Amino acid sequence: MDIFIIGLMLASSVLGQPPAENKTCYQGNQKTAAECCPLPRMMEKSIADMCNSKYKALSPRVPPGVRKTEGSCVTQCIFTTIGGYNEKNNTLNIEAIRKAILTTTANAKAFLPLLNSSIDHCYPIISKDPQFLATPVSPIPEREGCSFLPPALMNCIKIDLFQNCPQKKWNNATECQRLNEKITTGCSFSSIVSG
């Protein structure tokens, strides 16, 4: 096959997938998300560690601003492990996800009143969005593409919690208000994790 045909196939295979994120989202952060509103850990550390060690080497890093052809294999692995993702039909099981999040965050008192509403806000939006339902394409032959749905749901929940941060957890510094403005313009939660 010549390079033109391969190029065409690659271009059409990513149709409908989420667009590349605005690269400037990652630039100019003067505080980290955790310095502004420290969110509780939402998935059990032992599961996250297991999924990280299983998929880290199999997940080439995609630089900010470059379109991803798949979601996060680590997040999909976590969701599958807790029964929150069905690999057969690319669907989320929101009650299993809720149970895992509420169990892991049981001691995060300030956030308890917010978690259900963030989950209930995000699930209907994410689970029906065609860009997250698009077929993922793996950049390497050793595994299948990983779904866009699990990381999209976590992104939405973290953004919702951050934007509704309990007052006693919120650092109202100007740099933090900047991060809030950024995610209001469509930047991902990942883009404000590092300084």
Site for ligand NAG (CB under 6 A): which residue of 32, 52, 86, 135? 86
Cα–Cα distance for residue pair 122/136, rounded to 1 Å: 21
Q: C-beta of 70: minimal distance to ligand NAG in Å?
A: 20
Site for ligand NAG (CB under 6 A): which residue of 103, 116, 131, 163? 116
Site for ligand NAG (CB under 6 A): which residue of 12, 46, 89, 107? 89
Nearer to ligand NAG among residue 116 and residue 194 (C-beta): 116
Q: Does 112 bind ligand NAG (CB under 6 A)?
A: yes
Site for ligand NAG (CB under 6 A): which residue of 18, 25, 33, 158? 25
Q: C-beta of 73: minimal distance to ligand NAG in Å?
A: 20
Helix axes 149-163, 174-184, angle to 10 degrees: 140
Pairing of strands 85-86, 91-92: antiparallel
Contact between residue 33 and residue 20 where contact means Cβ atoms under 8 Å apart: no
Cα separations (Å) of 144 from 24, 61, 71, 72?
30, 16, 11, 12
Cα–Cα distance for residue pair 180/54, rounded to 1 Å: 33
Q: Does 185 bind ligand NAG (CB under 6 A)?
A: yes
Interacting residues of 9 by C-beta distance below 8 A, sequence separation 6+: none
Q: Does 131 bind ligand NAG (CB under 6 A)?
A: no
Q: Which stretch binds ligand NAG (CB under 6 A): 53-61, 68-76, 88-96, 121-129?
A: 88-96
| Adjacent-strand bridge partners of 86 | 91
Q: Which stretch binds ligand NAG (CB under 6 A): 3-11, 30-38, 69-77, 180-188?
A: 180-188
Q: Does 138 bind ligand NAG (CB under 6 A)?
A: no
| CA quadruple 68, 70, 75, 79: dihedral sign | positive
Contact residues toward ligand NAG (CB under 6 A) are: 22, 24-25, 86, 88-89, 91, 112-113, 116, 167, 172, 182, 185, 187
